[in-house]
Amino acid sequence: MLLYWQGGMILQGIINILKPPGMTSHDVVAVLRRRLGVKRVGHGGTLDPPAAGLLVLMVGKATRLSEFITEMDKVYRGEITFGIRTDTLDAAGSVVGSNPVDLTGQQIEAVFSRFTGKIEQVPPMVSAVKHRGKRLYELAWRGRTVPRPSRSITIKKLHLLELYPGKDGYPRALFDCHCSKGTYIRSLAADMGDYLGCGAHLSFLLRTAVGPFALDNSWLLEEIEDCPDPSKCLLPLTSALGKLPRVIVKPTAVKTVSHGNRLYPAGTEGMGTPLDPGQLVRLEQPSGNLIALAHWTVEATSGYFRPYKVFYEP
């Protein structure tokens, strides 16, 4: 339970929510703000309203870890319907074209292979990307279409689970996708349909993982509403920092770090593995509470930790 008494109860931590289809990511944030009584709540990556799945929320000072969570890889399970194009590239939009097609599993796997690895992708018009200060979806609602520069993304894994031929001539492919940040799965589906010449749209999407956070450890909004102590649903701040080296700070040096002052190796309980100059580490109490993130700074004959973000308040 992450409760800190500093003139009152303050909640901070990370909570995994299973977002239902139909809600925006902001809707989920609003529910948590009301239920937890905390204004400072953010999410680590938008999930489109028609999609369901894992939405990582940051509460309190955990919002300062946004840069780490948004950079994490994402894992999805989705379904592509081939032969039907929509104006939003997913099932929420209006059909703008249809072309019945007969596809085999080998053809689908071939196109999956073609779109695996580092590729260029153009963000869809119905997205939160900004164009001259306006969100693209705001322009799309007004009937406008503007040029969008492509972005480099990485599809690390694209695996066909099942192909449903479909008696109507519109086959559906169930797949798993492991990708880098910034990937639009509906754009991926539409691009593969265009590559095959028949068109396609994303007919279902479930996000199953964000970095180390998995759907298996998520909470329903109903469970949060009914939980007598929702703080028990929070994960520690360090759950988002597993890749950073851990340095334990001696109790006598905690106050020094909390004030943003440099920490010398004598104030730690051991350096562990050698650190590179400028390397970012997490400074923790022996109990595991995060004190700060800091850069290892090397001087002529010694080195010290320079606090970058401080989380602990004495």
pLDDT digits (tens, 9 = 90+) for 19-28: 999 999 999 9
Between 266 and 7, where is the model more confident?
Answer: 266
Q: Give SS3 for 224.
A: helix
Q: Where are the domains of the chain?
A: 3-72+212-237, 74-202, 244-310
- The CATH class that applies to domain 3-72+212-237 reads alpha beta
Question: CA–CA distance from 151 to each of 176, 180, 184, 309 (Å)?
Answer: 22, 11, 11, 30
Fold: same for 74-202 and 244-310:
no
> So what's the pLDDT on residue 230?
87
Cα–Cα distance measured from residue 264 to residue 178, given in angstroms and rounded to the nearest whole number: 40
Which positions ≥6 away from 273 have C-beta within 8 Å? 245
Out of 27, 48, 194, 216, which one is annotated catalytic? 48
Q: Is 48 tagged catalytic?
A: yes
Residue 226 has pLDDT above 90, yes or no: yes
Whether domain 74-202 has CATH 3.30.2350.10: the reply is yes
Beta carbons within 8 Å of 231's beta carbon, 6+ residues apart:
1, 2, 3, 11, 13, 36
C-alpha to C-alpha distance for 314 and 307, rounded to whole angstroms? 16
Q: What is the CATH topology of the domain spanning 244-310?
A: 2.30.130
State pLDDT tens for residues 244-277.
999 999 999 999 999 999 999 999 997 777 899 9
Which of the four pLDDT bands, split at 50, 70 and 90, describes residue 2?
very low
Q: What is the pLDDT of residue 147?
A: 60
What pLDDT sits at residue 274?
A: 84
On the question of pLDDT at 207 being above 50, the answer is yes
Q: What is the pLDDT of residues 111-132, one digit of tens each?
A: 999 999 999 998 775 655 554 5
Q: What is the pLDDT of residues 61-73, one digit of tens each?
A: 999 999 999 999 9
Cα 219 off chain centre by = 16
pTM: 0.89
